[in-house]
A = this chain, B = another copy of it.
Amino acid sequence: ARIVTLPGDGVGPEVTAAAVAVLQAVAAHFDHEFAFEEHLIGGCAIDATGSPLPDASLKACQQADAVLLGAVGGPKWSDPQAPVRPEQGLLALRAALGVYANLRPLNVHPALAALSPLKEDKLRHVDVLFVRELTGGAYFGAKTRTPDTATDECKYTVAEVERVTRRAFELARERRRHVTSVDKANVLETSRLWRSTVQRIAAEYPDVKLEHQLVDSMAMLLLTQPGYYDVVVTENLFGDILTDEAAAIAGSLGLLPSASLGEGSRGLYEPIHGSAPDIAGKGVANPTGAILSAAMLLRHSLGLEDEAAHVEAAVAQVLEHGPHTRDIGGHAGTTDIRHAV
């Protein structure tokens, strides 16, 4: 299998190296061949080529079986008014690969419950899979700007909502058969289209329970009853906000993985944390989110379910018995975790 790595900026290179080491161990142990090819994205790509997603990087990704990304951005490129910005590389890549379904699982490991801002009784049975629409909405709509006014258009087509909804229902069938669709249908036209489309697709899955929730209520319910939810499907911007809220529940951003999938098996995998410039290069970043992203890569792009489960079990062992990085109350470095896993 051909795997392109895009380490990116800040802690990206450290955590990506750890995830690659784990994938290499999997290859050795299970007798697979993984070829890795490293490319530029984000701030380092701007510095080297002027573009946050150089052609060479994009082409390599389009020819790979899977892409493993670290993180993009940093103080050096943080002016949101600058014409060229690291995040543009990430957004362009998502669009070019057509990875419209962003899977972000939220699990709270019992050994880490003390780190969560939530009371421990709220954390029991928390096992949520967010399915965030990733290539539509206000992220990719028309924008205008005059000295006096700015606009962003949020646009969704029925087809865009259908495909991500189907993905959510398919995933729910492998889980607890419960989908919560989040929108703002009492205010937004795109949300009314979203809701009626989800409603119609749900009829194809009579064995899965569907509920609708308004995004403001959901922001609340995620705190008051996180254990209630199974699969949560929502549009791009709401998904961005809700999954970061969910990440806070997990106790550390460093723990959570994500997978972005399109029509084929090619996928884009990245930990949900950012480039964390404050700790970059110190060897203390938690590589767990990146390693769990590699496990998702094994599962969703390479069809290696056993291998994925193996990596996840190893990560769970380490979370339970240590070593732990600083963000979760330990002293270990990035490479200690990688060796332990």
Using CB atoms and an 8 Å cutoff, list the residues of chain A in contact with chain B: 73, 80-81, 85, 87, 91, 116-119, 122, 138-139, 141, 143-145, 147-159, 184-196, 215-217, 219-224, 237-238, 240-245, 247-249, 253
From the candidates B187, B216, B237, B242, name the one contacting A184 in the complex (CB within 8 A).
B237
From the candidates B145, B150, B223, name the one contacting A249 in the complex (CB within 8 A).
B223
| Bound Cα distance A214, B242 (Å) | 13
Q: In the complex where A155-B151, A196-B81 touch, is A138 in contact with B217 (Cβ < 8 A)?
A: no
Q: Are A192 and B156 in contact (CB under 8 A)?
A: no
Which chain B residue has the least Cβ–Cβ distance from A114?
B119
Chain A to chain B: the 10 pairs with minimum beta-carbon distance, closest first: A80-B185, A150-B193, A143-B189, A216-B244, A219-B245, A220-B248, A223-B248, A150-B189, A117-B223, A150-B190
Q: Are A219 and B192 in contact (CB under 8 A)?
A: no
| Bound Cα distance A81, B242 (Å) | 24
From the candidates B145, B155, B184, name the one contacting A192 in the complex (CB within 8 A).
B145
12 contacts between A and B (CB under 8 A): A81-B185, A118-B119, A138-B187, A141-B151, A144-B189, A148-B158, A150-B156, A151-B190, A152-B188, A184-B237, A216-B241, A219-B244
From the candidates B91, B159, B253, name the one contacting A220 in the complex (CB within 8 A).
B253
How far does the Cβ of A209 sit from chain B's closest Cβ, in whole Å? Answer: 19
Which chain B residue has the least Cβ–Cβ distance from A138?
B188
| Bound Cα distance A51, B217 (Å) | 26
How far does the Cβ of A67 sit from chain B's closest Cβ, in whole Å? Answer: 21
A221: chain B residues at CB < 8 Å are 248
Q: Are B80 and A186 in contact (CB under 8 A)?
A: yes
Q: Are A220 and B247 in contact (CB under 8 A)?
A: yes
A116: chain B residues at CB < 8 Å are 119
A243: chain B residues at CB < 8 Å are 216
Q: Are B215 and A241 in contact (CB under 8 A)?
A: yes
How far does the Cβ of A258 sit from chain B's closest Cβ, in whole Å? Answer: 13
| Bound Cα distance A222, B248 (Å) | 9
Q: Are B189 and A145 in contact (CB under 8 A)?
A: yes
| Bound Cα distance A253, B223 (Å) | 13
| Bound Cα distance A81, B117 (Å) | 38
| Bound Cα distance A143, B156 (Å) | 12
Q: Are A242 and B219 in contact (CB under 8 A)?
A: yes
Q: Are B219 and A219 in contact (CB under 8 A)?
A: yes
From the candidates B81, B152, B223, B248, name the one contacting A190 in the complex (CB within 8 A).
B152
From the candidates B117, B159, B187, B223, name the one contacting A91 in the complex (CB within 8 A).
B187
A153: chain B residues at CB < 8 Å are 151-154
| Bound Cα distance A35, B304 (Å) | 73
How far does the Cβ of A151 sit from chain B's closest Cβ, in whole Å? Answer: 5
Q: In the complex where A153-B153, A223-B223 touch, is A192 in contact with B81 (Cβ < 8 A)?
A: yes
A188: chain B residues at CB < 8 Å are 138, 143, 152
| Bound Cα distance A80, B185 (Å) | 6
| Bound Cα distance A245, B220 (Å) | 5
| Bound Cα distance A117, B121 (Å) | 9
